[in-house]
Amino acid sequence: MLRAFSTAAYAFGAGARHIYLVGGVDEALALKRSVPGALAMGEDGGRRVAGFDFANSPTEVARADLKDRVIVLRTSAGTQGVIAATGARRLWCAGLANASATAAAVRDAGLGAPAYVITGWGGAASDSGADDLATAELIERARLGQPLRAAETARLVATSEEAARTLAIGEGHVHPEDVDHAVAVDAFAFAMEVARTPIGLRLDRVDRHDRVDRHDRHDGGDRVDRVDPA
């Protein structure tokens, strides 16, 4: 949740058309070069990457004009979780900023209870992934129609060691307002779903009125749906 798919949500909010998710820095730069007009955003070890247009910063992309732009996103945890979820029939990416919309999309898919992918920081810290877990728990409450406890969850994430570690990376790599943007529960009313395409995994903004058509494009199978709240 801090910060990959919070950043992705704000990029869609700023007008981005598609976001491609990749695992490596070189892969991101190569895809950026191959897609006319594409921009790269993300981080390596939490830090801005040379050749990327944006850091992994929801604040930075929220202030950009991304109308109809194609984005390539690479992060050290969030995009890695998506790439690893090879058994998922359908796969959504989420943060607190689009939590209820994600819950509604999962519920409307009619596939039953989802699996939540908790990616975390990837380090040795005992509470790594606490932000992802809190987000997943809120999404599940929303899916089940239970009280969100939005303020409590936002406060938990904002005051977590995960948030402190993120902000400590420093200016130029993390904006001081990134955590504030990330914990804005339900800032957006769209879900974000992964599509498998010939050039890679593409994250799409899916508004509620688009969901029926998108569901019809998925073939059958016994794989479960997954939610990555990175």
- Residue ranges of the domains in the chain? 4-228
**Which residue in 63, 67, 62, 149 sits closest to 100, CA to CA?**
149
**Which residue in 228, 205, 213, 210 sits closest to 15, CA to CA?**
205
Q: Residue 1: what pLDDT?
A: 77
DSSP 193: E
What values do phi and psi take at 193, rounded to 5?
-120, 145
Characterize the bridge pairing of strands 18-22 and 200-206: antiparallel
What superfamily would CATH give domain 4-228?
Answer: ComB-like (3.90.1560.10)
Does 3 sit behind a cis peptide bond, omega within 30 degrees of 0 on the bond before it? Answer: yes
Q: Residue 222: what pLDDT?
A: 39
Q: Residue 119: what pLDDT?
A: 84
Per-residue pLDDT of the chain (230 residues; tens, 9 = 90+): 799 999 999 999 999 999 999 999 999 999 999 999 999 999 999 999 999 999 999 999 999 999 999 999 999 999 999 999 998 999 999 999 999 999 999 999 999 999 999 886 555 566 678 899 999 999 999 999 999 999 999 999 999 999 999 999 999 999 999 999 999 999 999 999 999 999 999 999 999 877 555 544 444 443 457 888 87
pTM for the whole structure: 0.91
Q: Is 44 helix (H, G, I), strand (E, B) or coil?
A: strand
Q: Residue 125: what pLDDT?
A: 60
